[in-house]
Chain A
Amino acid sequence: MRINRSLLLLLVLTIGMGSCKKEYETIYVVNKVKAGNATVTKPNRKTTLEFVSILYSDLLGASVPQQELIKMISAYDAFGDGSVVEDLIVRNLMNRTGVSIPSNTEMRANPDEFIQAAYKRFLARDASDYEVWYFRNQIEKNSDITPDLIYYVLLTSDEYRYY
């Protein structure tokens, strides 16, 4: 019985090999994409003065008036957790008239363009393909996500705190 089984196996292998067509070697490649921010180098943390000045300019397209700047620095000094104050300052400025924010329709008509423009405006760089995909996906999946929410996210991100 043992011999018969070995013979049978040999027969099957021989038939199988003989029936194989010659295979062409297939090489799969992927397009080059910019994934993640690993190459982004922003080693310097903005000072409080730099943060509020740049933020004001980024949102309102003008230099922050001196009196406004003093009040902003005072707000920083008056509360111990800078992250809390920064979040509130961002949302305060975004609530002011004169802030240029694309409409929801514009954003949804061309999410990729909106995302790239937002990255360039606030983070001074191109968004990677992965970042564009991520935010496009969020925008498409969530009808309640508005342009100002995306702006809010970018302006309160760790990266915005650095240059």
Chain B
Amino acid sequence: MKRRNFIKQAGLAAGALAAAPWILPSGRLFAATGARKVNHVVFCLFAGGVRNIDSVKMNDGNLMPNLLGGGGGISSDILPGMSMLPNPSSTPLQQYGTLFKEFRYAQGPTGHFNGHTVALTGQYTAVDLNLRERPNSPTLFELYRKHNSPQETALNSWWVSNMLGPYPYLNYSKYPGYGVEFGANMMAPTAIISEEGYSIIGNTTEYAPSLADKAASMRGFMNQNFARQQSEPKLNTPEHERQLKEFIRSRYERAFTGAYTNPWGLGSAMNNDCFNVLFAEEIIQTFKPELLVVNMQDVDVCHSNFTQYCDNLRKADFAVRHLWETIQATPGMANDTVLIVVPEHGRNLQPNTLVDSYGRPALDHTSDATSREIFCMILGPSGVVKQNQVISGVQGQSVDVVPTIAWLLGFDTNIPSGILQGSPLLQAFN
């Protein structure tokens, strides 16, 4: 090609490139247009069914002194049933953000799995879900991984579940066009980092890195030769799988050194919720994910024991404080993270027939008006989140959390219309 022709054609190509829209790996046009407000979001499903009467309205005193300011002491009749916990900080977390005191889980059955599904898909469900099935609508994780620009790996997206059953299935949906390749890494830590878990996936044959490389090479030879019927999308790359295995292996190592024996100094008060948050913190410290969702559900003991429900509410409150402090102590996430705390639903106004040893009747959650009343707390840097703001009127719904996170991470404008029911909680932000 003559020099003049080359210059001419190169110029035309450059011009066309500049004029054409960018086609991203996802197949969509244009990069994300929404500006990021922060680079990390941690969403804590303060779950298990928490009634506003017992949380923000403090009917039995302030059971959440780490999150909420004010309120009196705990009711004397249930006080003997409370565990010894460290004194709360003099600065309740609500001062670092905005508290919606009258948030709503507006539609659908007030079941735990329903509540989790709504919170993670931004879509209310009309039917009572309790199946080991993936959601019908894309999850927050898939929306993030598919529509964020640039696209991020699953190491940046985590679902930390405090129990098994249907909950692990929330890391991706069966919605066409989404699925495992956009899913989150999911871990139910207390099921894995345990004696039982160690007996199955711990105590493994270990290979030196050079041998592991040779094994990978030989496996590559085999996989290349084996023509599968259809290629299967993977959640992680081989390198990230290696990092995940190392993460699990090092948890067992920590367990053997006693790192999980009274890690927070709570003694026997350290319940499953606290351990779940502890492992979420270790994921935060290790991977610094852009998006992490962690839940707690120990307050659900309220079906049979109201006093223990109150005590577990105090522990959940302490765990959130610990989580916040860990985030602020993690380089790369400190002052660049928004923490959102929301129960999945509330509990009934009227009790059931069970009475605990302190004479308090137990509470179910069967979709009455009170079981739809919840709170939402959004905490973050002062330049992003309005500080020490309390919104007392009825504002915000469960389905608004996903759009809010999408807005914070700047991929909201790329989500196809009709996927989400709610809208960002802009009242909470500067």
Contact = CB atoms under 8 A, between A and B. Distances in A.
Contacts of A10: none
Contacts of B218: 135, 138, 150, 153
B227 A78 contact: no
Contact of A80 (B168, B211, B225): B168
Contacts of A40: 226
Given A71-B196, A148-B205, A78 B164 contact: yes
A89 B164 contact: no
Interface string A87-114: 1110110110000000000000000000
Contact of B227 (A37, A149, A153): A37
A84 B211 CA distance: 18
B235 interface: yes
Q: Could you tell me the dominant secondary structure of chain A's interface residues?
A: helix
Nearest to B192: A78
Given A89-B200, A149-B211, A158 B188 contact: no
B424 interface: no
Kindly list the 3 A-B residue pairs having the minimum CB-CB distance in the complex, ordered from nearest. A80-B186, A91-B204, A88-B201
A153 B222 contact: yes
Interface of A: 36-38, 40, 42-43, 45, 68, 71-72, 74-75, 77-81, 83-85, 87-89, 91-92, 94-95, 131, 134-135, 138, 142, 144-145, 148-150, 152-154, 156-159, 162
Contact of B241 (A37, A38, A81, A162): A81
Interface string B124-138: 000000000000000
B222 A157 contact: yes
Contacts of B206: 91
Contacts of B215: 149, 152-153, 156
Given A74-B196, A80-B184, A159-B222, A89 B201 contact: yes
B219 A79 contact: no
Interface residues of B, number: 47
Given A131-B225, A158-B222, A80 B187 contact: yes
B236 interface: yes
Given A37-B225, A92-B204, A144 B192 contact: no
B205 A95 contact: yes
Contacts of B221: 134
A94 to B, nearest CB: 5
A2 B174 CA distance: 82
Interface in B235-250: 235-236, 241, 244-245, 248
A68 B206 CA distance: 22
27 contacts: A37-B226, A37-B227, A42-B226, A72-B200, A74-B197, A78-B187, A78-B189, A79-B248, A80-B185, A81-B236, A81-B244, A83-B235, A83-B241, A88-B202, A92-B202, A94-B204, A94-B205, A95-B205, A142-B214, A145-B211, A148-B205, A149-B214, A152-B205, A153-B218, A153-B222, A158-B228, A159-B226
A43 B229 contact: yes
A45 to B, nearest CB: 8
Contacts of B236: 81, 83-84
Contacts of A38: 227
B192 A158 contact: no
B144 interface: no
A97 to B, nearest CB: 12
B223 interface: yes
Nearest to A44: B229
A71 to B, nearest CB: 5
Interface in B276-327: none
B203 interface: yes
B191 A154 contact: no
Contact of B222 (A45, A91, A145, A154): A154
Contacts of A71: 196-197, 199-200
A79 B192 contact: yes
A84 B188 contact: no
A37 B235 CA distance: 26
A158 B203 contact: no
B282 to A, nearest CB: 15
Given A80-B184, A80-B187, A94-B205, A74 B223 contact: no
A91 B234 CA distance: 21
Contacts of B187: 78-80
A36 B225 contact: yes
Contacts of A84: 236, 241, 244-245, 248
A157 B215 CA distance: 10
A68 B200 CA distance: 8
Contacts of B235: 80-81, 83
A153 B214 CA distance: 9
Contacts of A45: 232
Nearest to A148: B205
A75 B201 contact: yes
